[in-house]
Structure 1
């Protein structure tokens, strides 16, 4: 027996072969069942109602079809299993409808519709709901970040550049910066949602239909805010998937950066924050350890979410500009899994940030070390002693080197040390008093006088916080309005279906 004969004996001589079933059809069926079942029946309802109202379907036929649709929609879809008689979930459900109402009526349900526009509509319905859930979780984390920021507008800490202590700031200032990045992520997610929430229905296979349908009515019935007007674009355009994937990549990349900070902050050596007990795990052999597993898994999940989203971009790359439903069958689960992982990361970090204990005294002490207020010493030379900034920078640099050599911190140096350095550089004393020097070297002073827009001064930080709290209330209201509109569309669609079925 040849290898060809062996394979055909094992797989069968007609479509679908056993290997094709196990490697493709069965996994795709399971994904469609788990993700698309309810969206499919929403599309059925809206389309049949439109055909009836446009008098393409007689009302009595539409009533029978919708009765069957409602009966099958109530089945326990999780119990559905792949059946080789049907290529996918779509054809299995069509067969169920045929059993209920006969071939003619079941077939007429698909007048002026294709698997192409129906498939894209289902994907968009599922994706928009997941995006809204993701936006909700981002809003929640933003609200938490602002709340914790408000508690730490005067919690002094070092800010870092190049991983080195740079200048004093506050924990509130830092967390607000994290929030602001997340706020931009919110806007990107909302933009993706708006581009996802567009109806392709009525495009049919790719060139619309000769029937006098109303695309707007179906759009409104399903809660879409607009329509993908060009029917070729409705079927071929996959940028709504790419936009969602890239927004996820940006979101999780942004989160990953400060999650890495938090892993550093909670080390014993750094000792800036303490993760609450519910989110740490004790070592199996070293009882003294408090492993920050919640933060570690968040970092890992963020990377995994990025990988799934990148898979989406890679799968669409070089896909012909036409119907890609077959590609999307394999692609969609990557997107859903990516969003699910994002939600897990956001939930975990919301719990962690809400419950952290901050070692304020230790952070303040770190802000007094490493000469990180010396920028202010240089600024004071310019403001109060009338020398150029570059010269002041040179003097301050030499002061720091001298202090390091003598094993002193900046608040240990004397006016005499500064005068000795100044004489070497400019030929005369700067004559700082001990009181002036103490003020200049104090991290509280450093922060307090930085009142420029966006600075860490508690007064300026409070102003920024108030504005952000106002914006997030507006963002939350917008999200709630979107949810209400979608729910209203679902309720209205179901009401109209019941009215037709009951003859009201």
Structure 2
């Protein structure tokens, strides 16, 4: 076998893998890598692993690299394998090969990589969480305003019962707050720092992992060093939580499409969110709904892509969870935040067409359940007997094209046929029993649409939102404080 005279990197490998990875670092990770370099140097100094002039010289070189190397202008040439080695080459250029390599004492690209990925995901997760909390606030405010606004609630695509827009929005809010809670739970995994795991098994040097975690804004080190470089549950857990947000919002968006359809028409979308056909000027197309729907599906699909990439991969350090995969996942944040922003504007702007609600309710006899319930309470009938009378009444008024409130004669006949006696309900009592407002008012049980039940629910959701916001604010405060501490401490190294 002849000697291998090939030289790394092969041009095809350079162009198809290494250059795109380098571009990904330029776009997403260079700042976090600089923060890790500062924190690691501070930790090495505080533990005595590096001392005196070496520490100050490395600090000065790092500052010079930050000031003199314009990351955005760098192009991958293959001279250095990746951005990490480019920075190390810059240190050696300024400090010499021996001192220039000291910074990498007691660490590896393995623990650095996953720390960088977590730092970037923290920022993107926090932004998405903030926007979801803003959407929750919009929905909560809208639910307060629309607490008593009547709607037709649909099941199986058919008119079912009356409710209120506030009650519907409260259900949406309840799921969204649960989704934000799941997102915050997934976010906790991003707060455990991999630094100090080194390649796999930590280090023989007396490193301080708590110090590194603190300087980088993590709550604590991730305990198991093997897991620091092998466990990608911080990725799969996060994207699973994000997917659920957009699966659930997509269902609401589909309702908005259905409600605003010409044949239903109970949701009015203002002109600012309507596009007119290029050839049919009478058409009002609420096109933003379609964009929110497909962007929600796109976001959920992008989340699946990242989770599925981890499927059947080995439980160890691997490129399948790094570099390009991490960068690809950010597209889910990009499309997802667009949905949330647009939905916030949309929900704040739409209104209920009360005329269409009333006409649809009349056409479908959606209060007929309350007529049956009233007969059970006031006429001492079994529910099945009452249901038969209500069904016969509904069949008659629908056949005759009447509103249910015009069906007292049909009701009286049905009641007599079923019970062989006259009903004790007056026409006024009948009309009250089948009115939309009465239907909602009497459903004052816990979780129902009646005003008192709604007031209790909206108060609870307000408290829950405040608690979630406090958690999010605490995370932001911790990160900002860590950045300040690290910056001050690093500046102090330069002044020694």
TM range (shorter): over 0.9
CA distance, structure 2, for counterparts of residue 122 and residue 361 of structure 1: 56
1:245 is displaced (CA, Å) by 1.0
Q: How big is the shift at 1:13?
A: 4.6
The answer on whether the counterparts of 2:232 and 2:321 sit within 8 Å (CA) in structure 1 is: no
2:161 to 158, 167, 175: 167
Return 326-335 or 223-232, whichever deviates more. Answer: 326-335
- The alignment partner of 1:87 has SS state of coil
Aligned to 1:16, what secondary structure does the other structure show? coil
Residues 321-359 of structure 1: CA deviation (Å, up to 9, x unaligned) = 110245422211232111121111101111111222432
Pairwise CA distance, 1:53: 0.7
Q: Does 1:413 align with 2:407?
A: yes
Contact 1:150 1:465 in 2 (8 A): yes
1:314 CA displacement: 1.0
8 Å CA contact retained: 1:144, 1:354 = yes
Residue aligning to 1:222: 216
Alignment check: 8 A CA contact 1:419 1:431 kept? no
Q: Would you say 1:285 and 2:279 are equivalent positions?
A: yes
2:84 & 2:320 partners in 1: Cα distance? Answer: 13
After superposition, the C-alpha distances for 1:236-291 in whole angstroms (9 at most, x for unaligned) are 11111000111111111001001111122233333333334443333333344333
Pairing partner for 2:432 from 433, 439, 445: 439
Given that 1:52 and 1:58 are in contact with CA atoms closer than 8 Å, whether structure 2 keeps it comes out as yes
Paired positions, count: 491
Tell me the distance in 1 between the aligned counterparts of 2:80 and 2:281.
57
**Is contact 1:157–1:366 with CA below 8 Å preserved after alignment?**
no
Secondary structure of the corresponding residue to residue 212 of structure 1: coil
1:276–1:352 CA contact under 8 A, matched in 2: no
Q: Aligned pair 1:486/2:486, yes or no?
A: no
Q: Is 1:47–1:218's contact at 8 Å kept on the other side of the alignment?
A: yes
- My pick for the range that moved more, 233-242 or 99-108, is 99-108
Pairing 1:394-473 to 2, within 5 Å after superposition: 394-414=388-408, 416-473=409-466
Checking the alignment, whether the CA contact within 8 Å between 2:393 and 2:410 is kept in structure 1 is yes
TM-score by length of 1: 0.93
Matched, 1:56 2:56: no
Q: Pick from 101, 121, 130: which aligns with 1:107?
A: 101
Q: 2:177 aligns with which of 155, 172, 183?
A: 183
* Deviation per residue, 1:274-316 (Å, 9 max, x gap): 3344433333333443332322211111111111111111110
Is the 8 Å Cα contact of residues 156 and 367 (structure 1) preserved in structure 2? no
**Please, what TM-score do these two structures have when normalized by structure 2?**
0.95
Is 1:198 matched with 2:192? yes
**Pairwise mapping of residues 82-481 of structure 1 onto structure 2 (< 5 A)?**
82-325=76-319, 327-414=321-408, 416-481=409-474
Give the drift of 1:367. 3.1
**Structure 1 residue 98: Cα displacement:** 2.2
SS in 1 for 2:276: coil
Q: Distance in 1 between matches of 2:303 and 2:279?
A: 37
Deviation at 1:469, TM superposition (A): 1.8
Measure, in 1, the Cα distance between the counterparts of 2:459 and 2:493. Answer: 51
Worse overlay, 398-407 or 38-47: 398-407
Taking only aligned residues, the RMSD between alpha carbons, in angstroms, comes to 1.7
- Retained in 2: the 8 A contact 1:368–1:443? no
Q: Matched residues in 1 for 2:322 and 2:404: separation?
A: 61
Dislocated runs of 4+, deviation >4 Å: none
CA distance in structure 2 between the aligned counterparts of 1:501 and 1:247, rounded to whole angstroms: 43
